[in-house]
Amino acid sequence: MYQFSQKFPAKRAFITGAASGLGKAFSIELAQEGWTIGMADINEAELAVAAQEINALGGKALVFQLNVADKQAYKIVAESFLQEVGGIDLLFNNAGVGDGSVFEEYSLENYEWMIGINLMGVVHGCYYFIPTMKQQKSGHILNTASAAAFACSPTMAAYNMTKAAVVALSETLYGELMEHHIQVSSIEPTYFKTNVVQYARGGAFVKKATQHFIDRSGLEAKEVAQEILTRAGNKELYIILPKSARKMWQLKRLAPTWFRKKVTEQFYTAMKKAMKRS
């Protein structure tokens, strides 16, 4: 049993991006321990299928079709969830999109789209649920960032900067919410098997190259979710995984300029290999 299930007997969670990937994996893990889960996603059809699975596993799924970038829609959804379940114990700001392109070739509209989902979606979740957590004097916020926040590979400016911002927001909230007995975790994984690029706008090659890295990762969303839930239960702020990602993080702190050059070299080497396969 996860520590969260013992710490929060009411077992109330709200998860964005819950229809697939890591969000669905979180939902499955919690459902098996009887949690009530507010499952939010932009894809209504996939969300309905995922909710059926959650209910069958012993959870209680409350379904919300939601574009996290829409602050008014998010406000209505958050209020509805809180009214129905009476509070919130775990908030997973997980919805996100992956994409990339050379900096000046990625349109300003695409930057706005990426920021709206990957960053403002997290801001909206925190903004609408933190007041209730403060009233309760309890809760845990898990913000899905990425190892991209510190790796910052070329051609991923929009994604990198939104994920770095999520880390900064998480660090800030960690300090602000400490006295209110609210925990915060910043989730920073490398590639694992998910459909993060399903809405990518950077072109076919971006999708293919990213999928190449995902396929070779060997990591499944289930095992990533299990490790995150375990480590967050231990009150970790930085949940960086797998082991290779933690090594990257340490190297950047010890030798930042060397690390930047190494990441760039490895990125273009990998891209050449991916192009040969395309």
| Residues belonging to the active site | 159
- Asked whether 106 and 160 are in contact (CB, 8 A), the reply is no
First to last CA, the chain: 44
Burial of residue 216, with CB atoms counted within 10 A of its CB: 0-12 exposed, 13-18 middle, 19 or more buried: exposed
Looking at the DSSP assignment, which residues form a beta bridge with residue 144?
187
Strands ordered across the beta sheet of 36-41: 60-65, 36-41, 12-16, 90-93, 140-144, 183-189, 238-241
Distance separating alpha carbons of residues 74 and 97, to the nearest angstrom:
17
Which residues have CB under 8 Å from 168's CB, separation 6+?
none
